[in-house]
Structure 1
Amino acid sequence: MSPKPMLTLSEVMEKLRQKGITDEVRMTEDKRFVITGTEKSLKAEDLKIIRTYRFEGASDPDDNVALYLVEDVYGNKAMIIDSYGANSNYEGHEFDDFIKSLPTEEKEEYDF
């Protein structure tokens, strides 16, 4: 059995979109985590990571991105995207602390 081909960030996002997952969570300047386009704040205790995807830049090792697929207590799913390495999306430790505080329960159905 041959390994699955590596997908790009945009290919994974398209597969998630096909499953109806289009919301993205971002950290605001005042360190709140909200669904883009809304003012709905999310708390770490209401979320869990159900899949983590990592992408490494072919030409630049600092061009690394992680996509976290999260699910809230109501079953709603959203993406959290973070560039890591030298070019992190967020300054300070709040974003990393938030991600590290989330429990992980990997779901095979999102293994593309």
Structure 2
Amino acid sequence: MSIHAYRTVAEAVRALEQRGFTANFELIGKTFRAVESGKTFAPGDLTIVEHHRFEGASDPEELAVVYAIQAKDGTRGTLVDAYGVYANPDLSAFLKDVSIQEDRAA
């Protein structure tokens, strides 16, 4: 997880976009696709650079994780998934095969 502390999912996504994570990723079958460019990526092409978990205190639908992801070709973007029982099981299975970058001191 990153040292950044965001209060909302929208705030995290905006901040990541300002830091160059501009692609929007989606899971299509067993590949990730950058929506705008149409490029597709296998798990081995991707690294989770950081993630931010949001735990809604009163509303379980506020449980979410924002992922900052970088592809080997330099494509950088975000992906938001529900957390806990609302998580997408196909996405969770895909992300298990994606490497995670170790935290670096800022």
Q: TM-score, normalised by structure 2?
A: 0.79
Structure 2: distance between partners of 1:108 and 1:63: 28
Gaps of 5+ in 2: none
> Is the aligned partner of 1:101 residue 2:101?
no
Structure 2: distance between partners of 1:71 and 1:32: 14
**Percent identity between the aligned chains?**
27
Q: How far does residue 62 in structure 1 lie from its aligned partner after superposition?
A: 4.3
Q: TM-score, normalised by structure 1?
A: 0.75
Which residue does 2:34 correspond to in 1? 35
Which residue does 1:25 correspond to in 2? 25
1:101 is paired with a residue whose SS is coil
After TM superposition, what 4+ stretches of structure 1 lie above 4 angstroms from structure 2? none
Measured on the aligned residues, the alpha-carbon RMSD in Å equals 2.3
Answer with 1 or 2: which has the greater Rg: 1
Gaps of 5+ in 1: none
Q: How many residues align?
A: 103
1:75 is paired with a residue whose SS is coil
Q: How far does residue 34 in structure 1 lie from its aligned partner after superposition?
A: 0.7
Q: How far does residue 107 in structure 1 lie from its aligned partner after superposition?
A: 4.4
